[in-house]
Amino acid sequence: MMAGDCLGFPTRADWKRIYNSSPFQGLSSLLTQLESSDLGRKEESEDRLGLLELQRYLHEVKQRLGDCLRSYVLMIYYYEKGIPDKRWYQSPGRDGHTIQYYPDFTDTHFRIKGWFDFYADTFYYKLFSAWDLVGHTMKVAYGLPVKKVYFTTVVEALSKKNKPLYDCLKELQDSPAFSTARTIRNDITHNCLPSVAAFGVCRSDDSKSVSLNVSYTTSDEVVANAQEALLLFAKTIVILLTCARGKSA
């Protein structure tokens, strides 16, 4: 696919419309509130370096979410052009093929999906990067002994330091939407892409066989999960703010 195959770019009106109907609404305000809080530190704390470190991490969270927003808008822009992948294979296929992937696609649909997948992948990278940076802020704010800092590892460390906060974030982390988003992100990074229809090789001790990729994730499912994941990120910030104010989340 050549760079000239971008099939257009969102207008100012497109950006505004997609943003205004997205879960990003209100996130900026929540992050501003978080910046003015101390995430559980006492106001009289003399750890100026720690506060400086918190400010740096929170600034980075906003930067990553800015990238996340750009990726989201472009993902939705291409999604709205139409990606008929609900029926992602048929068997038998046309022209004597045993199986045919994307039977309802035209050449244009393949180009649209290529750009959709690119921005969807970037969206998940940036969102979980922002989540991990939230983990860094919690590590500093609560003095957690975590060496490999990820959102999930910091949440686990909170169980011995701040049980109410741990309980709230653990419930969020165990939600189906977060689990799905994490699986999509991990597959994008480490495994076969979840939104690419293809065969798979199944291995056992005494044989191996070829089968359908039964874990294909449609564009509808990606968009729905992306929106749920953004709502969970916003809920993460609300939980931190509530606990920082000394209330039950």
pLDDT at 202: 63
Burial tier of 2 (Cβ tally within 10 Å: 0-12, 13-18, 19+): exposed
pLDDT at 34: 84
Residue with tokens 């822009």: 77
Question: What does the alpha-carbon distance between residue 22 and residue 130 come to, in Å, rounded to a whole number?
Answer: 18
Q: Point out which residues pair with 202 in neighbouring strands.
A: 209
pLDDT at 43: 43
Question: What does the alpha-carbon distance between residue 1 and residue 166 come to, in Å, rounded to a whole number?
Answer: 46
Question: What does the alpha-carbon distance between residue 158 and residue 180 come to, in Å, rounded to a whole number?
Answer: 23
Burial tier of 19 (Cβ tally within 10 Å: 0-12, 13-18, 19+): middle
pLDDT at 155: 96
pLDDT at 206: 63
CA atoms within 13 A of residue 44's CA, in its CB half-sphere: 0
pLDDT at 229: 97
Residues 151/131, Cβ–Cβ less than 8 Å: yes
The answer for 143, left when phi > 0, alpha when psi is -120 to 50, beta otherwise, is left
* Strand 89-90 relative to strand 208-212, pairing: unpaired
Residue with tokens 């509808």: 220
Which of the 8 DSSP states describes residue 94?
G
pLDDT in tens, the chain (249 residues): 444 566 789 999 999 999 999 988 888 889 888 887 766 444 445 566 767 788 888 889 999 999 999 999 999 999 999 999 999 988 877 777 778 889 999 999 999 999 999 999 999 999 999 999 999 999 988 889 999 999 999 999 999 889 999 999 999 999 999 999 999 999 999 888 888 887 666 666 666 555 555 578 999 999 999 999 999 999 999 999 988 665 444
Question: What does the alpha-carbon distance between residue 194 and residue 216 come to, in Å, rounded to a whole number?
Answer: 5
Helix (H) or strand (E) holding 131, with range, is helix 107-142
Return the domain boundaries, the chain: 3-244
- The whole model's pTM is what? 0.88
Q: Which of these, 208, 39, 36, 7, lies nearest to 119 by C-alpha position? A: 7
